[in-house]
Structure 1
Amino acid sequence: MNKRGRLIVLSGPSGVGKGTVLARYREEHPGVRLSISATTRAPRPGEADGEHYFFLSREQFEERIARGGMLEWAQYNNNYYGTPRDYVERALEAGEDVVLEIEVQGAMKVREQLPEALLVFVMPPSFGELRRRLCGRGTEDPETIRGRLCAAARELAHAHEYDYIVINDTVESAASTLSRVLDGARDLVKYNLNFISEVLQDAQTSDVAD
């Protein structure tokens, strides 16, 4: 049986460490593909098309939106950013698991288009710890940190809409939890519909003794 890959959507507030957790998970699961986003902003020095981003013109991006070619998209600083549907679908059809690291609104858009997507929300052990981590960076002024904390509170209010939560108390334990829940999820019915259909079809076409 050629099983379709799984689409895994990872979200969490700024400062929770979801990128670090994902990187540690992928060290142990190198076959999991990290999706590449598309954008209309200009490439920065050292960035390559199809490696860091798919760099599109504004007209190309809007044409993809019009024909449903983006699983999710948004505008920041007058530029489009989004997830190309064809890139993700090709990988899934090839049996690869694909991870999208995106914010809550994008995750909900993905679920609308691909209900089989598995949504994972990375949470801090406490809101106070999230505040400590953001302050500990030492790279942002108090007003910026306050804005990030307000945004985090709004995002945390959507955690119940996800399939799983992963608490990032330490990177090692969070990556272990992520591995455990994703490995266990392989047996969910929604990821085995083709197999179930094949067995049922075989049953219907076989000579079954009374």
Structure 2
Amino acid sequence: MDTTESAASSAAPATPPGQARRLTVLSGPSGVGKSTVVARLRESHPQVWLSVSVTTRRPRPGERDGVQYHFTDDAGFDRLVASGELLEWAEFAGNRYGTPRRPVEERLAAGVPTLLEIDLQGARQVRETMPESLLVFLAPPSWDELVRRLTGRGTEPPDVIERRLEAARVELAAEKEFDLTLVNHSVQGVCDELLALMADH
């Protein structure tokens, strides 16, 4: 597995018509900065399509349905699982998250650069269902920095934070399962490297 800490700027051009793209999956422990990296990447390169996950979690302040997540209840999520409409799904911190299958398959078939931001359980499922996908692990500069980011959010009670820290220990131990690792020293650096990887198709 390659570990990359520096990055070179690159574009992620569309694949020629009729040629499917390889799916890129970004994963890593909670608090490592996945959402921040993806937001920066989408601002500068809107041609990269980010799958919007379905979740049973309640919206956080400022989140909108269909933008950050598709919000649903447990019964709605059960229906999606039963009908095979999710590419992957996982439970985390008492809530469930899943990736709608059809939009991903349609974008890949059309040659659109496609990115998933999902957790370890979901990444493992994608590895099984789409083995040609590129799995990228986003790692923190250090464990202490990850703890600082998780405890500094101020949006969750202590018991949820402790569950996230326990999950983070498990997720960090799974780094070797991924194709390569990017260390989040710099949000822009990680964005540049991700774009380079998506362009190298």
Q: What TM-score, normalized by structure 2, do the two folds share?
A: 0.75
Render the CA deviation track for 1:97-137: whole Å, top value 9, x for unaligned.
22111110011111111111111110011112212333344
The more displaced of 34-43 and 65-74 is 34-43
Quote the Cα distance in structure 2 between the aligned partners of 1:130 and 1:69: 33
Q: 1:67 to 1:153 in 2, by over 3 A?
A: same
* Runs of 5+ consecutive residues of structure 2 not aligned to the other structure: 1-15
Residues 29-73 of structure 1, C-alpha deviations (whole Å, 9 max, x = no match) = 21011112234678899844x555446676664454334321112
Which amino acid is 2:177 matched to?
E
Which residue of structure 2 aligns with residue 148 of structure 1? 164
Q: Which amino acid aligns with 1:132?
A: R
| 1:152-181 C-alpha deviation (Å, 9 max, x unpaired) | 110011111111211001212222232333
Question: 1:131-155, CA deviations, whole angstroms, 9 ceiling, x for partnerless residues?
Answer: 2333344555655444322211100
The verdict on how the C-alpha distance between 1:110 and 1:138 changes in structure 2, with shifts beyond 3 A counting, is same
**Cα distance 1:136–1:76, how it changes in 2: closer, same or farther (>3 A)?**
closer
SS of alignment partner, residue 74 of structure 1: strand
Q: Could you tell me which residue of structure 1 aligns to residue 189 of structure 2?
A: 173
Q: Does structure 2 conserve the Cα–Cα contact (< 8 Å) formed by 1:6 and 1:96?
A: no
2 CA distance for matches of 1:173 and 1:4? 27
Alignment correspondent of 2:52: 36
Tell me, yes or no, if the aligned pair for 2:23 and 2:132 is still in contact at 8 Å.
Answer: yes
* Aligned-residue CA RMSD (Å): 3.1
- Are residues 139 and 156 of structure 1, via their aligned partners in 2, closer, same or farther at CA, if it must alter by over 3 Å? same
SS of match in other structure, 2:112: coil
Alpha-carbon distance in structure 1 between the residues aligned to 2:27 and 2:74: 26
The answer to whether 1:110 aligns with 2:152 is no
- Give the partner amino acid of 1:7: L
Would the aligned equivalents of 1:37 and 1:53 in 2 still touch at CA under 8 Å? yes
Mark the CA change 1:29 to 1:148 in structure 2 (over 3 Å): closer, same or farther: same
Relative contact order higher in (CA < 8 Å, ≥ 6 apart) = 2
Taking every aligned residue pair, what percent have the same amino acid on both sides?
50
Question: Using a 3 Å threshold, how does the CA distance of structure 1 residues 112 and 53 change in structure 2: closer, same or farther?
Answer: same
Q: Kindly name which structure, 1 or 2, has the bigger radius of gyration based on alpha carbons.
A: 1
- Correspondence for 1:163: 179
Matched, 1:135 2:151: yes
1:81 correspondence with 2:97: yes
Aligned counterpart, 1:71: 87
- Return the letter of the residue paired with 2:33: G
Alignment coverage as a number of residue pairs: 184
Match of 2:41 among 19, 25, 36: 25
Residue matched to 1:98: 114
Gaps of 5+ in 1: 187-210
User: What is the distance in 1 between the residues matched to 2:94 and 2:147?
Assistant: 29
Contact 1:37-1:54 at 8 Å conserved across structures: yes
